[in-house]
Amino acid sequence: MLPKEENELVTRVGPGTPMGELMRKYWLPALLSWELPSPDCPPIRLKLLGEQLVAFRDTNGNVGVIDEFCAHRRASLWLGRNEEGGLRCVFHGWKYDVTGQCVDQMNEPESFKDKIKLASYATSERGGVIWTYMGRGTPPPPPDFEYTRVSERHREVNRVWQESNWLQALEGGLDTSHAPILHRAMKAGAGITMDTAFVRGGAPSLEVDITDYGYRYAGVRPLVEDQQYVRGYHFVMPFTQIRPSQNAGRGQERTVISGHHWVPIDDENCMVWNWDYSYGSEELSESERGGGGNGGGNGPQYVDYANEFRAKGNPRNNWLIDREMQRTVNFTGIRGINAQDRAVQESMGPIVDRSLEHLGPADKAIIAMRRLMLEAIKVVEDGGTPRGVAASYYDLRAYEKVLPRTLPWRDVLDPEMYQKGATASRLT
């Protein structure tokens, strides 16, 4: 359980809140690059950490993320004309560049544009994603996850709106014990099938190694014939998970790694970013890239891209549950692995009351994450730098393997999960 006071502390992300101040220490994924496809293209409305913003690509290709509302009479700049190096409000013609500086005032006989500046945030574009930094002062180095460095044919990135607080979405992702239950399938192609080590293994024992970026954790499941299935992940503060691909546990050796960012839109909504990439010579298949993640429940079959990436299955239509499918095809009666995650996490309500929980040993990763969040809030309040801001996580990889039970799993997984000598970052 988490006391109500601490639950409030870790879930509220608006300006001036302790968690909001912590979040503003990190780069946040804001948009997919293809949403702003060319100079002077239409602007995009977005909301991050409770702030209403608008993003646009100017004539030179630079991306601005600024306050959505014109400083004159507060009309939305999403209605604006993107022209000649700035975004012009259609109400009275005030124009802003990518730094939020007013550069023209069509309705004023004596301009005072130099005195007008909207809130604006730094941006960086890499890995097919437009990132923004909403903190004060000089930003840290831009994000450099391995998926941002591979070619487009080796990478798929997509996003979907989730109608719940960001923390319960993150906790769902960090919870390895749920996956072979919630995502269990009786038929091939409908989820994690019964023949995988993920399902055949017993209930997992969780082992968590605290690091300077967050933690590495593993679910260790006993198998028959003195074997064990070990599935290793990383949690990078404040909202990132790196995990084995969804083919894991099927006896396939692949160079594909997956992950998520769970980014707060406001207190009751978050954007779930999903990515898959291959770090070897193997390119992702067309179904893995061109389909936009339909198999996982994130592609256009499941998500309305034109409506702020809202999920087609949602609380208002009972997540499109099919009870006959639930009896014969998969455990939930809901199509798509991540669609199933959204359903159970949204079913908890906008912000779950953690004071009513009953946690057990299978929740060790969730408990560790909450402790790190509370620690990081205190670090920021004291003027320090929280975990995960430095670049120590850039070369992490996830890995899973079936091993003899007598073989220490760290001896096998560490060389795969910590590239280029990154083992130095592991603290315990």
Both 323 and 253 in a single domain? yes
Q: Report the distance separating Cα 385 and Cα 141, nearest Å.
A: 13
Question: E strands of 300-354, at which residues?
Answer: 303-304, 310-311
Residues 6+ apart with CB under 8 A from 171: 366, 369
Which of the listed residues 84, 101, 133 is the one where a domain comes to its end?
133
Q: Report the distance separating Cα 172 and Cα 162, nearest Å.
A: 12
Both 189 and 105 in a single domain? no
pLDDT of residue 293: 53
With beta carbons less than 8 A apart as the criterion, state whether 376 and 18 touch.
no
Q: Under DSSP, is residue 235 helix (H, G, I), strand (E, B) or coil?
A: strand
Q: Under DSSP, is residue 319 helix (H, G, I), strand (E, B) or coil?
A: helix
Q: Which residues on adjacent β-strands are paired with residue 260?
A: 241, 274
Digitized pLDDT (tens) for each residue of the chain, 428 residues in all: 899 999 999 999 999 999 999 999 999 999 999 999 999 999 999 999 999 999 999 999 999 999 999 999 999 999 999 999 999 999 999 999 999 999 999 999 999 999 999 999 999 999 999 999 999 999 999 999 999 999 999 999 999 999 999 999 999 999 999 999 999 999 888 888 888 999 999 999 999 999 999 999 999 999 998 999 999 999 999 999 999 986 544 445 668 999 999 999 999 999 999 999 999 888 988 877 755 555 678 888 999 999 999 999 999 999 999 999 999 999 999 999 999 999 999 999 999 999 999 999 999 999 999 999 999 999 999 999 999 999 888 899 999 999 999 999 999 999 999 986 544 344 44
pLDDT of residue 428: 44
pLDDT of residue 225: 85
Q: Report the distance separating Cα 35 and Cα 55, nearest Å.
A: 10
Both 116 and 153 in a single domain? no
In a domain, 15, yes or no: no
pLDDT of residue 424: 39
Cα distances (angstroms) measured from residue 171 to each of 3, 35, 54, 248, 280: 17, 28, 29, 20, 30
CA dihedral of residues 136, 140, 143, 149 (deg, nearest 10): 140
Q: Report the distance separating Cα 198 and Cα 216, nearest Å.
A: 19
CATH of the domain at 42: 2.102.10.10
Bond into 238 cis (ω within 30): yes
In a domain, 18, yes or no: no
Both 248 and 361 in a single domain? yes
Residues 6+ apart with CB under 8 A from 169: 162, 262, 270, 272, 341, 345
Which of these, 121, 117, 154, lies nearest to 47 by C-alpha position?
A: 121
Q: Which residues on adjacent β-strands are paired with residue 31?
A: 130
In a domain, 233, yes or no: yes
Q: Phi, psi at residue 101, to the nearest 5°?
A: -75, 130
Please provide the distance, in angstroms rounded to a whole number, between the alpha carbons at the two ends of the chain: 25
CATH of the domain at 413: 3.90.380.10
Both 168 and 194 in a single domain? yes
Q: Which residues constitute the domain of residue 85?
A: 27-133
With beta carbons less than 8 A apart as the criterion, state whether 137 and 270 touch.
no
Both 188 and 254 in a single domain? yes
DSSP-assigned letter for residue 283:
P
pLDDT of residue 145: 95
In a domain, 12, yes or no: no
Both 104 and 248 in a single domain? no
Which of the listed residues 78, 106, 133 is the one where a domain comes to its end?
133
Which of the listed residues 133, 160, 176 is the one where a domain comes to its end?
133
Sign of CA dihedral 293, 294, 300, 302: negative
Q: What is the DSSP annotation of 355-413? A: GG----GGGHHHHHHHHHHHHHHHHHHTT---TTSSSTTTTB--EEEEEETTS-HHHHH
- Tokens linked to 89: 């409000």
Residues 6+ apart with CB under 8 A from 25: 135, 140, 380, 385, 386, 389
Both 90 and 205 in a single domain? no
In a domain, 4, yes or no: no
What pTM value is reported for the model? 0.94
Both 386 and 242 in a single domain? yes
Both 287 and 364 in a single domain? yes
pLDDT of residue 420: 64
pLDDT of residue 299: 86
Both 305 and 176 in a single domain? yes
Both 328 and 239 in a single domain? yes
Q: Report the distance separating Cα 155 and Cα 147, nearest Å.
A: 7
In a domain, 285, yes or no: yes
pLDDT of residue 247: 53
Domain count, the chain: 2
